[in-house]
Copies of this chain bind each other. A is one copy, B any other.
């Protein structure tokens, strides 16, 4: 099940603000309604305040959703909440991109703080 304690951090290497983007192309969870797997991509963007998320721990955190039954909208907001709690970033954005189900593809955009306009379209 999703486990935010997997997330590890390290101190940001500089005090001048910079943007970090990590795109995980291999996310999977389970639809709580049908029991079928969902496949998607998770795009994370943020400006660190004091800490950055360590990349391998982020991967393990995402893998902890593998057998979780959870809707698109809920998983997107859950990841946003977990990362904000752990990183306390200046701003943070989570975009999830889901492969088609019944001919419908979906994207969900959740954010924390003031996402600059150039990133709002995901």
Given A63-B36, A121-B118, residue A71 in contact with residue B13 (CB < 8 A): yes
Give the chain B neighbours of A18 by CB distance below 8 A.
73, 76-77, 108-111
Q: How large is the interface on A (under 10, 10 to 19, 20 to 34, 35 or more residues)?
A: 35 or more
User: Which of B59, B101, B110 contacts A104 (CB under 8 A)?
Assistant: B59
Nearest CB of B to A103, in Å = 4
Oligomeric state, in copies? 10
Binary CB contact string for chain A from 93 to 122 against chain B (1 if under 8 A, 0 otherwise) = 000000111111111111110001111110
Please list the residues of chain A having a beta carbon within 8 angstroms of any beta carbon in chain B. Answer: 12-14, 16, 18-26, 28, 36-37, 39, 52, 55-56, 58-59, 63, 66-67, 71-74, 76-77, 99-112, 116-121
